[in-house]
Amino acid sequence: MLKERLEKNLNKQINKELFSAYLYMSMGAYFQSANLLGFANWMHIQAQEEMQHAQKFYNYINERGARVILEQIEKPKTEWASNLNAFEEALAHEEFITNSINELVNIALEEKDHATNIFLQWFVTEQVEEEASVTEIINKLKLMKDAPGGIFMLDRELAQRQLNIQQTAQ
Ligand code: FEO
């Protein structure tokens, strides 16, 4: 059985992952409206991955005999100042999620819940990858400084991203 403190914070994480999906869907819609369909594709895939993350927490809470409680999801922004600004905000959001995962690990260790600690390690590794992939795009956008040729090439590259189906059953 999960300790109440962990149950509460794991439930909060479901909400954060669902908000992440919502945020990236909103960024996808922003890029879609600018006819940057590759950028939009990248965001749509990112949103689906976030749904998978939420599902992992959902399954884990159930598996431990605790109760999933879904809360209201905050409204995401709909406009950004530039392509670069949207990705910079995506990175800031991922850093926020990384801190949240790290805090969950701290709580699991404090509560001596080793199973939850092991479950969370997947997310610790995933966050390194999440931050790295967004940073790579930010670096490319900074290099090209909105040069149309560069944006066109990057849009084609981001159109290649495909959903990586993750094992959500724990
Ligand atoms: Fe599920 Fe992008 O953190």
Give pLDDT, residue 1: 85
Report which protein residue has its CA nearest ligand 1's atom 2. Answer: 94
Residue 43, CB-side half-sphere exposure with 13 Å CA sphere:
24
How far is the C-alpha of 73 from the C-alpha of 11, rounded, in Å? Answer: 13
- Ligand 1 centroid to Cα of residue 145, in Å, is 27
- Ligand 1 centroid to Cα of residue 64, in Å, is 22
Give pLDDT, residue 146: 75
Distances (CA, A) of 115 to 4, 7, 31, 56, 106: 15, 13, 40, 14, 13
Give pLDDT, residue 164: 84
The amino acid at 31: F
Residues of the chain with pLDDT under 70: 167-170
- Ligand 1 centroid to Cα of residue 2, in Å, is 23
Report which protein residue has its CA nearest ligand 1's atom 1. Answer: 50
| Four-residue CA torsion sign, 99, 56, 15, 93 | positive
Q: What residues does ligand 1 touch, defined as CB less than 6 Å away?
A: 17, 20, 50, 53, 94, 97, 130
- Ligand 1 centroid to Cα of residue 121, in Å, is 13
Give pLDDT, residue 170: 46
7 membership: H or E segment, kind and range: helix 4-33
Give pLDDT, residue 167: 65
Global pTM reads: 0.95
Give pLDDT, residue 10: 98
Give pLDDT, residue 168: 60
Give pLDDT, residue 166: 74
User: What domains can you pick out in the chain, each with its CATH number?
Assistant: 4-158 (1.20.1260.10)
